[in-house]
Amino acid sequence: MTNRCLVLGCLLFGLASAADARTVKPILYGTHWVAITGKPLAATAGARIFEQGGNAVDAACAMLAATSTMFDVLSWGGETQALIWHPVEKRVIAINGLGVAPTGATPEFFRARGMAQPPEYGPLAAVTPGTPGALLVILAEYGTLSLEQVLAPARSLAAGYPMEAQTADSIERDKEIIRQWPYSRALLLTHEGEAREAPEAGEIFRQPDLLATLDKLVDAEKAALVAGKSRRDAILAAYARFYTGDIAREYVRASQEMGGLHTLDDLANWQVHIEAPVKGTYKGLDVYKLNSWVQGPVMLQALNLAERTDLRALGYNSPAYIHTLYQIMNLAYADRDFYYGDPYFPPAEPLQGLLSKDYAAARWKLFRADRNDTGIRPGDPYPFQGEANPYAEQLERWTNVADPDKGLAPPWQQARYAPAEHARTFQLGTTSVQAADAVGWVVSMTPSGGWIPAVIAGRTGIGMSQRMQSFVLDAADNPFNVVAPGKRPRATLTPTLVLKEGRPWLSAAVQGGDIQDQVQLQMLLAMTEFGMNVQEAVEAGHVWSYQMRDSFGDHRAVPGRLAVRKDLPAETQEALRGKGYELELLDRTSGPINAIWFDQQRGVMQGGSSDFGEDYGIAW
């Protein structure tokens, strides 16, 4: 089948039915496969792999490679997180592809440079690259095609593709930052010295250094196959070349040249972890998330709290419903801000207590129906796992609101507050990848890092991560997330898999920093409590709380600030203001959610992709 016929067929099969008339985009119906991600060309990459006989893992890896090549608010030097449903073993597999802080990254190092946290941009913002390793391990362990086949679309894009407006305009907007780094300037400012220095939308954008890096990975695979290695081991030979070979040497050289801390040992010692996910339940559904090295468990905590009240009776997006959701998120996210961190580093996070239904019942007693409580603080989950809290003193002094009587103030108290800048950092982008096939493989990914303005790591062509800024420097802020060499920062990246009666029911992920689990929570509730289909749920008018601490920038919280869609009825807006909320009115608040709902009765996959950004899907 030609690509032209493939796309035509997919468009015909994806036409909206009458039931889709309430949404901007139609539901994508498929019985063979579904591929959805952040860019149309990248979704086509997944479709091409499916048409070559690949499974959902192969297609997801091809979309990951394509989006990383297209700087879809990420690059190859970022991080990749995934949940995979294994249809043979009947289990959910978690992939931890988050990089770690390099050698020398300590609180003392950053404080000595006058920093309150690691910087937002530059080589000192970069953890070790995780996306290449995650892609290669996922493909080696669970895919079926060769690395050469899966990387073919990305290599074609690296050779040259017409850049879309979103990326082109972000380069122009951030060109003064990009200009600081020689390799970034040479690659991204294609018209340096002109009025517009970034590429134009539709201009062919070429990345010869990145193409050479991808070629080296394929060459490593080919050489291993010639030497008699298995498919799996040949792909892992490419992994070895990236993290211990010539690619690693150039990455480290470039990082150090520009003031970064990375060493060859940092890359060689880093590894992808294949993990067990964490699980919660909500009204007959099993909800799977990644562990506390990301914010994923916060959605499970929120669902435990949501079970304590009748949300359906409140009415969708009524003042009472929005207020209740906001308070639920306050209670859950306050715990995230204090207790979440890298479980591979001590101290051990009290996850058993945090996810306890009894703990949720105790937290629910703090709910106020009359108005917003700006003073919500982390709870104490330790008694719910039979232990005493070793951080009781830090917990007592933790606050998001200044309390002069107690001499307490949040760490950003003296910093300037610019609402637009805070909103920008609060929802810093990434992308998401959703793939499923008729055999039963399901993949939900939330890759990120290396977004524009990215530092390009020398002749590798790779954009370096910016994830270090999610660390804290003071244990009083979060004793589990203090920066240290070899440690993962607590990230926002959070795919979701939901099972019903032991079979996939929903796969979802979303970009957008600290809004990610907020909008995924509301999407799930829209489907379970209010009967929305998957496309209605991903386009819905969700609300965003800013009361939790920003995972980026200065880690500021803005208690009482609430983003809602502009078309929320005026009387609802007034009722919310009466409960103490400061409203931010936005055109769209769905968040760029991508999701697949599995119609278990009909055996049909239904893809949903919100109208928030450039996300796009194809199904067959």
Q: For residues 456 and 178, give the distance between their C-alpha atoms in angstroms, rounded to a whole number.
A: 9
Radius of gyration of the chain (CA): 23
Residue with tokens 């297609």: 59
Confidence grade of residue 13 (pLDDT, cut at 50, 70, 90): very low
| CB contact set of 314 (below 8 Å; sequence gap of 6+) | 320, 321, 324
Query: Above 50 in pLDDT, residue 321?
Result: yes
Residue 57 tokens, joined: 């893992």
Inter-residue contact 300 to 287 (CB < 8 Å) = yes
Q: Could you count the other beta carbons within 10 Å of the beta carbon of residue 307?
A: 17
Q: For residues 397 and 532, give the distance between their C-alpha atoms in angstroms, rounded to a whole number.
A: 42
Q: What is the DSSP letter of 317?
A: T
Structure confidence by residue, pLDDT tens digits, 499-519: 999 999 999 999 889 999 999
Determine how β-strand 204-205 pairs with β-strand 161-162.
Answer: antiparallel
Q: What is the mean pLDDT of residues 442-446?
A: 98
| 17-21, 212-216, 418-422: the lowest-pLDDT one | 17-21
SS3 286: strand
SS3 4: helix
Structure confidence by residue, pLDDT tens digits, 369-384: 999 999 999 999 999 9
| pLDDT for the residue 5 | 36
Mean pLDDT, the chain, whole residue set: 94
Q: For residues 112 and 104, give the distance between their C-alpha atoms in angstroms, rounded to a whole number.
A: 12
Q: Could you tell me how many residues make up the chain? A: 620
Per-residue HEC secondary structure of 397-414 comes to HCCCCCECCCCECCCCCC
Chain Cα centroid distance, residue 277? 16
Confidence grade of residue 6 (pLDDT, cut at 50, 70, 90): very low
- Alpha carbon of 113 to those of 43, 123, 260, 487: distances in Å? 43, 14, 14, 21
Inter-residue contact 434 to 509 (CB < 8 Å) = yes
Q: Give the type of residue at 276.
A: A
Residue with tokens 């559904």: 285
| pLDDT for the residue 420 | 80
Inter-residue contact 120 to 554 (CB < 8 Å) = no
Q: For residues 323-342, b (16+ Cβ closer than 10 Å) or e, as one string?
A: bbbbbbbbbbbbbbbbbbbb
| pLDDT for the residue 22 | 84
Q: What is the DSSP letter of 276?
A: P
Q: For residues 393 and 174, give the distance between their C-alpha atoms in angstroms, rounded to a whole number.
A: 42
Q: For residues 472 and 551, give the distance between their C-alpha atoms in angstroms, rounded to a whole number.
A: 9
SS3 432: coil
**Nearest CA-CA partner of 512 in 589, 587, 572:** 589
Q: Give the type of residue at 228.
A: G
What are the start-end ranges of the E strands in 221-318? 273-275, 278-282, 285-289
| 4-18, 63-77, 604-618: the lowest-pLDDT one | 4-18
Instruction: Provide the whole-model pTM.
Output: 0.95
**Nearest CA-CA partner of 241 in 270, 221, 263, 262:** 221
**Nearest CA-CA partner of 85 in 406, 507, 592:** 507
Query: Above 80 in pLDDT, residue 462?
Result: yes
Q: For residues 15 and 198, give the distance between their C-alpha atoms in angstroms, rounded to a whole number.
A: 36
**Nearest CA-CA partner of 293 in 452, 496, 480, 486:** 480
List the Cα angle 78/82/84 in 5-degree steps. 155
The percent of residues above 70 in pLDDT, for the chain, comes to: 96
* Residue range(s) in the chain whose domain bears CATH number 1.10.246.130: 296-418+510-598
Residue with tokens 């359906």: 312
CATH class of 296-418+510-598: mainly alpha
| pLDDT for the residue 406 | 83
> HSE on the CB side for 454, CA within 13 Å?
32
Confidence grade of residue 427 (pLDDT, cut at 50, 70, 90): low
Query: Above 90 in pLDDT, residue 340?
Result: yes
Could you please report the per-residue DSSP string of 251-308? HHHHHHHTT----HHHHHH---EEEPPEEEEETTEEEEE--TTBSTHHHHHHHHHHTT
Determine how β-strand 561-565 pairs with β-strand 582-586.
Answer: parallel
H-helix or E-strand spanning residue 231: helix 231-244
Counting beta carbons within 10 angstroms of the beta carbon of residue 474, is it exposed (0 to 12), middle (13 to 18) or buried (19 or more)? middle
| pLDDT for the residue 8 | 30
Q: For residues 398 and 402, give the distance between their C-alpha atoms in angstroms, rounded to a whole number.
A: 10
Q: Give the type of residue at 3.
A: N
| pLDDT for the residue 403 | 86
